Amino acid sequence: MIGTFVNFGTVILGSTIGLIIHRNLPIRYVQLVFQIMGLFTLVLGFKMALEGQQLLVMIFSLVLGGLLGEVLKIEDWINSLGNRVKRLTKSKNDSFSEGLITAFLLFCVGSMTILGAIEEGMGGNPELLLVKSLMDGISSIALTVAFGVGVLFSAIPLLLFQGGLTLLASQLGEFIDPVTITEVTAVGGVILIGLGINLLEIKKIKVVNFLPAMLIVPLLMELFVR
């Protein structure tokens, strides 16, 4: 899990740099960076979503995953956890939970996370995750400027999620085909579009509740496509 640990470290480093910049940056510049991150998230989400070929799988995965997430109240639970960490750290950042969630989604639902974790888990070179680590480190600077210290704490769920994928791939990687990975990534793209809409304050969408959709995609692919 070298790639994941390096990724964890680059997010910590980038967030620390972002915090130093954030303290000395006028609020209008912080708001500008916030809007840029929203637009960037929309572009990235559309790019990922348009790679999908199985539209019915995408739709049903999102419907079923969204319903499951709503029943389990995943976003409420994550927000509650973020607020608890905020109190423990005595942070006064109003965007703590939003920063944590935004950074986690941007760092973890992309194709580089999935492909890199599978590659390393199956004993390959962690090169893809190392490239992702550099990108995430740079992104974490901009995210921390916009959201504050919550981005720093996103390194923990990143470590758990990406590390878990790597360990899972070490056991089941040979059963995961590239077509399914593409469709999982496409669903992740739709989730990022929702996140971009949130960041631009167009409409509030509980995007975290849609995360189970990414787990449902392989099941639907196995049942109806393969």
pLDDT per residue over 21-49, tens digit each?
Answer: 888 888 888 888 888 988 999 999 999 99
Q: Is the dihedral of CA 42, 189, 11, 204 positive or negative?
A: positive
Distance CA 101, CA 40 (A): 16
Give the relative orientation of helices 96-108 and 27-49 as an angle to the nearest 10 degrees. Answer: 30
Residue ranges in the chain modelled with pLDDT below 70: 173-175, 226
pLDDT at 169: 82
Distance CA 170, CA 147 (A): 35
pLDDT at 124: 76
CB atoms within 10 A of CB 154: 27
Contact yes or no for 99/151 (Cβ under 8 A): yes
Distance CA 2, CA 206 (A): 33
Whole-model pTM? 0.87
Contact yes or no for 134/186 (Cβ under 8 A): no
CB atoms within 10 A of CB 189: 22
Q: Which residue has the tokens 């631009």?
A: 200
pLDDT at 153: 92
Give the relative orientation of helices 55-72 and 213-224 as an angle to the nearest 10 degrees. Answer: 140
| CA nearest to 140, candidates 179, 107, 115 | 107
pLDDT at 226: 65
| CA nearest to 189, candidates 131, 105, 80 | 105
Distance CA 14, CA 138 (A): 6
| CA nearest to 122, candidates 164, 160, 173, 159 | 173
pLDDT per residue over 103-116, tens digit each?
Answer: 999 998 877 888 88
pLDDT at 5: 95
